[in-house]
Each structure stands twice: as C-alpha cells, then as structure tokens.
Amino acid sequence: MLTKGKELAGATSAELDVVLLGKTVGDFTKLLSAYANRVLVVEDKKLKNFNSSTYLEVLLPLITEHTPGLILIGHTGFGMDLAPRLAIELDMPLITDCTDLTIEDGNLFATREMYGGKINAKVSFCKSQGYIATVRQGIFSPEEGTLKGEVVSVAFPLTEEIEEKKFLEYVEAAVGDVDITQADTVVAIGRGIKEEKNIPLINEFAETVGGVVAGSRPVIDSGWLPKERQVGQSGKTVKPKLYFAIGISGSFQHVSGMRSAGLVVAINKDAGAPIFSVADYGIVGDLFKVIPTLKDKVKETKS
C-alpha cells in the first residue's frame, strides 16, 4: 500500500506520511521510515488492541491538522470498521476494497471488482478536499524502501477510557494445518481430479515442487480437502510465486482468488477452458498422464 501511496504522492507532488498506532511499535517505525516521508507514531497502552472508537479519537485531530488529500487504509477487518466511521466524521467520500488507484489529469480514480469479480469498475470520487480508500490486501507488489522518513512522536490525545466499545479477547482465525496464503507454490486441484482416492497423486507432485495443496470449491464441498484450503471468492485469496491449476475450469469465482499469482500453470484436458486465459503456461491434456510426467521431469531436473 505504501508503494502505491508513493506512486500517487509522486504524481501529485505530495508527500507520503504513515500513521502508526500501538503500544510498543519501535521496530515497525524503523521499517516504515524507508517507505514514507514521515512516520507519525502514537504510542499508548490503550492502543495495544485495535478499537475503532479509540483509533477514531486519535486520527481525527491528526487528519484535521495535516489535511491529507488521500487516506489509504487496508481493507482488513479493522480497516472496514474504521474507514466508514472516519468518512462520516470527516465528511469525506470513501471507496472500499480498491484493487487499483490512479491519478489521471489530476483526478483520482479507483478500480474495484463488481459482481463477485466478473467485471472491474473504474470509479471516480465526488469532489472533496480529501478522499478515503480501503485497499485490498496483497494486491500491490512492494518495491524496496529507499526513503529516510522522519519519525515524529505524537502525544496520545485521550485521557478518558472509551466506554462505548471494549476489547474483550483476540481470537486467532483458524488457518488449519497449512496456511495457503503464505505459500510460495500452490498446487490447486479441481473437479477434474474426479475422486478423493486420486489426491495422493497430487500430494506427491506438490511435495516434489515444494508446494502446498489447495482446491476449488467442489473439491472442498466434497470434503476431500479442508475448507481452509479453498481458493476463490468464498475461500482464500492467494498470491504465490507459482500456482498450478490442475483440472480447474477457471470460473471467475475461482480466478478472483488467484489472479495475482506470479506464474500460473494450468493443466486441463479442455483447450477451451477459461483457466487458460489467465495462465502463463497451459498444458492441454489428461492430468492423470501429465502430472506423473511433470513430476518425473521436475525430479530429473532437480537431480
């Protein structure tokens, strides 16, 4: 998001500031200063856990003082809680879940998916002094940080406890035995695998290429892989360096979860399968013949 922020700031001769809230955030301060002109740090024990009411009270005076032209917030659970409240309080237009932001002729445009990823809409903001956008996670590739941003310590403005909303407990989301969102290589299977008894073939292939096994929705619905391994609109969004789509047709619901993968290799017996339109390499053939051959080739190359 900061790489994108730097690009947008450059296009408008603006500066890029980061606001960092937390209890003890020293380590992040150093890291972030390479990516911004200024890092505004607010530390307090009341900021140990996210609370949109507390964040709001800290951010409102900062935004009023610095008058940013654009505020970028991650489209995370926290961001989705915070951004609309900020937009209302500041009377600023908000566009959520952006997959791109551009400046054209001095005007800001955002791209966001509609109809579950079937089409992309390019939208403009209504005229305002400032804008807010929440940005989809993992959508921009980070560049190396080359800036040496000034670190500015900002006093925590609250003395009273926030009563309207309290932090109770942090519950870690289940990631199962494997977190497919963190893998460099994902080997995804679809209905083309036909039966559960064929999955060991894919496990062996995944082991050979050093990948984790994931699946399309029918594979998960059949109970052949756990829910945490589902890629797509109602599953996980993955961005591995290498993605194998094996016996997957390429429905837009599936593609919306893997379109940002670095290199996509699709194996499908139907040359007209839509997955080939998002693949860098396509193999038209029967997966039960292709996978063993590919596995042997990889082993041969490795040795």
Ligand X SMILES: Cc1cc2nc3c(=O)[nH]c(=O)nc-3n(C[C@H](O)[C@H](O)[C@H](O)COP(=O)(O)OP(=O)(O)OC[C@H]3O[C@@H](n4cnc5c(N)ncnc54)[C@H](O)[C@@H]3O)c2cc1C
Torsion over CA of 178, 2, 133 and 7, rounded to 10 degrees? Answer: -130
If you count them, how many residues does the chain have? 303
Other CB atoms within 10 A of residue 65 CB: 9
Question: Per CB under 6 A, which of residues 212..231 are in contact with ligand X?
Answer: 216-218, 230-231
CA distance 86 to 57: 10
CB of 212 to ligand X, least distance (A): 16
Q: Answer yes or no whether residue 253 interacts with ligand X by CB under 6 A.
A: yes
Residue 268's DSSP bridge partners are 284
Q: Answer yes or no whether residue 46 interacts with ligand X by CB under 6 A.
A: no
What does the DSSP 8-state code read for residue 242?
Answer: E
Stretch that binds ligand X, among 15-23, 61-69, 196-204, 264-272 (CB under 6 A): 264-272
CA distance 148 to 36: 7
CA distance 91 to 255: 36
Q: Answer yes or no whether residue 39 interacts with ligand X by CB under 6 A.
A: no
Binds ligand X by CB under 6 A, chosen from 235, 258, 259, 264: 235
CB of 194 to ligand X, least distance (A): 7
Nearer Cβ to ligand X, position 96 or 216? 216
Question: Per CB under 6 A, which of residues 168..197 are in contact with ligand X?
Answer: 190-192
Q: Backbone phi, then psi, for 113, in 5-degree steps?
A: -80, 145
Binds ligand X by CB under 6 A, chosen from 232, 244, 265, 282: 232
Q: Answer yes or no whether residue 282 interacts with ligand X by CB under 6 A.
A: no
CA distance 12 to 30: 26
Q: Answer yes or no whether residue 269 interacts with ligand X by CB under 6 A.
A: yes
Nearer Cβ to ligand X, position 212 or 231? 231
Q: Answer yes or no whether residue 134 interacts with ligand X by CB under 6 A.
A: no
Residue facing ligand X at closest CB distance: 232
How many residues make contact with ligand X (CB under 6 A)? 27
Please say whether the beta carbons of 218 and 193 come within 8 A.
no
Helix 77-90 / helix 52-66 crossing angle, nearest 10 deg: 50
Q: Which residues bind ligand X (CB under 6 A)?
A: 190-192, 216-218, 230-235, 247-249, 251, 253-254, 257, 267-270, 273, 286-288
